[in-house]
A and B are shown apart, each in its own frame.
Chain A
Amino acid sequence: MRLGLFIPCYVDQFYPQAGLATLRLLEKLGHQVACPSAPACCGQPLANSGHAAEGEVFLDDFARAYAGFDRVIAPSASCLLHLKEGLEARGHELAHRLHELCEFLHDVEQVQSLDAVFPHRVGLHAGCHGLRGLGLGRPSECMVADFSKPARLLQMVQGLELVPLDRPDECCGFGGSFAVFESDVSVAMGRDRVDDHVRHGAEFITGTDLSCLMHLGGLLARSNPHVKVRHIAEILAGEP
């Protein structure tokens, strides 16, 4: 399978190690992976701030750059959901070949085991767009059988212990420009999430979205510097 890897702007700039881990994971599964360097962004920051019309061009750029791949993977549920919804609205068939990393591993590859060790207590932050948008798990509001694709993958990692949470899927308060324009509420929400993980003894907080993790990590650095954030790709790839 020819895979296209989409590394969103802020992951590119601040978290190259998460991009590399995703790449290694996909190559380990025997895929040929290419990483076009443009477009840099999915356009979501514009759309969510009310400038969707100006964000449309990013969809054009994306569709052009990635049309030739069998499947396109991104280590970011939120960016991927934005691309998927945008392309779906246009009736573009590429929409159905886009996958968030965990979804790809779980649904397409149907991974049953992983060569990874991470002997730590880990809290899983269920990012809203992955959970409620892409259906990576059961949102706590929904009265259906419980499941979580990221949690299932994490359970394949040797030594990793998932900590329980009091509010397993409350939003962390990042919300894109919300984090800046509504910073008080954003920070209050983030602190409550951080406290939940710390209270349950998490040494690491992981998730499918570095946007949430950047926010939570930024708060942790000031309140609980011993607790770190890690993108799920790094843990699944067996990075230390």
Chain B
Amino acid sequence: MVTTHPTAAHDFLNDPKRAAWHDQTLWMVRAKRDRMAATVPEWEQLRETAARIKDHTLSRLSEYLEQFSARAEANGIQVHWAADAEEHNRIVHGILQRHGVRRLVKSKSMLTEECHLNPHLEAHGIEVVDSDLGERIVQFKKEPPSHIVMPAIHLKRAEVGEVFHEHLGTPAGLDDAQALTEAARQHLRGHFLGADAALTGVNFAIAETGGFVVCTNEGNADMGAHLAPVHIACMGIEKLIPKAEHLGVFLRLLARSATGQPSTVFSSHFLKPRPGQEMHVVLVDNGRSRQLGRADYRRSLACIRCAACFNTCPVYRRSGGHSYSYFIAGPIGSILAPNVDRQAHADMPFASTLCGSCTAVCPVKIDIHAQLLKWRQEVVQAGGTGRLKPLALKLTGFVLRRPRLYRLAGRLMRRFAPLAQKLGLDPWTRHRDLPEPPARSFHELMQQQRRP
């Protein structure tokens, strides 16, 4: 039995205090985003510009990819192309094998999460250390990240203390942010110094220069890449922008949208390997060109992974990242997941009220809620909602279109509403009262007054 979003959300909400804390923590991030965005007078213009740059890039993606790869190679970067996750993992492992790498440090990369790189490398005897603090915490816990920007946001400080006590030997009951961060810093420093290779994600790759930009708040991408003799950067093919001058648009939007910071603490530009270092870029498709070919969903590839749609989503905040079946949760995950496997993620497009806050907050103006609605149609057509629900809806539609039947059904419904209320068996009346049913409907009253 697959755990569906409603059942996972039910479990999450079983601890109302914790659920309220989760909601408030993420709402605070949304509020910070609002305050920071409000300081930029041309905010809406920036969003529009970013959306257009992305649309343009996606419309000529193959050309920009070729330009990027040619420039990167001219800079001395080795460029690899991976059609899917398996090929990506094989390429990365091949590079590491060639260098006899035993220890790899990674900075945050959702793509490697998508490709399940860590277990693949670990199966080949390579030690993988995630160096982003949140990632390291969930790695210790053997959990997937619950949020793409703040991977351990579902954990409280004291719980992090327990994890560190178990894995890093910090004193039991340590609940001090400063002390916990210091413990992580000392622990990670050793891994940075001892790593044989570093792997980073890519936030933006620039076609005209062949360079790329990695944004972090902890400087962990830099510490990894600048120390290790081998730097591998893995990116989805949609991370491209045409020109260096476009970076300003995206860097101004990214951190403000993500965490309400004016900028990430580190925006690191990589152009070529330093003398004696090897630098690789792995360009990964893994379903992206399929999504590019779907006109209704193409714009989902404009995503810059800021997670503003997570933070604003009232459903995400009240159900948590682990209630979604895909490793990218929240609204954007819910329109990306069905492209990967419509059946396995059939309930994700339904885990939304279609309130549209995701679309309104998105820095690259992806019409997320409209795409959720479109995926719902496809899920239903593929039989992904079972038998009962479609039948009930068809019956409702049948009744609503037949005036006499509708009037009769209406009268019956009003008559039996108090009984349903008393029984409280359905999901509505279990928690909510029904409205007091009136003796006559609006149209019955109109008819009485003989109005047209």
> Which residues on A are within 8 Å of B, measured CB to CB?
7, 9, 11-17, 19-20, 34-41, 43, 45-55, 57-58, 61, 128-129, 132-133, 139-144, 167, 170-171, 173-190, 192, 214-215, 217-219, 221-222
Contact with A along B435-452 (1 / 0, CB 8 A): 101101111111100011
CB-CB under 8 A from B44, the residues of chain A are 142-144
**A14 to nearest B CB, angstroms?**
5
> Which residues on B are within 8 Å of A, measured CB to CB?
5-6, 9-10, 13, 16, 19, 23, 27, 34, 37-38, 40, 43-44, 312, 314-315, 318-319, 350-357, 359-361, 373, 376-381, 385, 389-390, 393-394, 396-397, 400-401, 403, 406, 410, 413-414, 426-428, 430-435, 437-438, 440-447, 451-452
Beta-carbon contact of A48 and B376 below 8 Å: yes
- Mostly, the B contact residues are helix
- Assuming A7-B443, A183-B428, A185-B315, is B376 touching A178 (CB within 8 A)? no
Q: Pick the contact of A185 from B13, B356, B434 — CB < 8 Å?
A: B13
Beta-carbon contact of B428 and A41 below 8 Å: no
Residue of A nearest to B10 (CB): A184
Question: With A142-B44, A171-B355, A171-B357 given, can you name 18 additional A-B contacts, CB distance below 8 Å?
Answer: A7-B443, A9-B400, A9-B410, A15-B438, A37-B443, A45-B393, A53-B377, A55-B397, A57-B401, A128-B354, A141-B357, A170-B357, A175-B354, A185-B318, A185-B319, A187-B432, A214-B435, A215-B432
17 of the cross-chain contacts (CB-CB < 8 Å) are A9-B406, A12-B410, A13-B437, A15-B435, A15-B442, A19-B442, A36-B452, A37-B403, A45-B393, A47-B373, A49-B389, A54-B393, A143-B44, A171-B314, A171-B353, A181-B6, A221-B432
**A36 to nearest B CB, angstroms?**
8
CB-CB under 8 A from B427, the residues of chain A are 179-181, 183
Beta-carbon contact of B360 and A139 below 8 Å: yes
Beta-carbon contact of A40 and B426 below 8 Å: no
Beta-carbon contact of B410 and A13 below 8 Å: yes
The residue among A48, A55, A217 with the most chain B CB atoms within 10 A of its own CB is A48
Beta-carbon contact of A179 and B318 below 8 Å: no
A129→B393 CA distance, assembly (Å): 22
Q: Pick the contact of A222 from B13, B40, B433 — CB < 8 Å?
A: B433
Beta-carbon contact of B441 and A13 below 8 Å: yes
Residue of B nearest to A78 (CB): B354
CB-CB under 8 A from B9, the residues of chain A are 182, 184-185
**B433 to nearest A CB, angstroms?**
4
CB-CB under 8 A from A58, the residues of chain B are 400-401
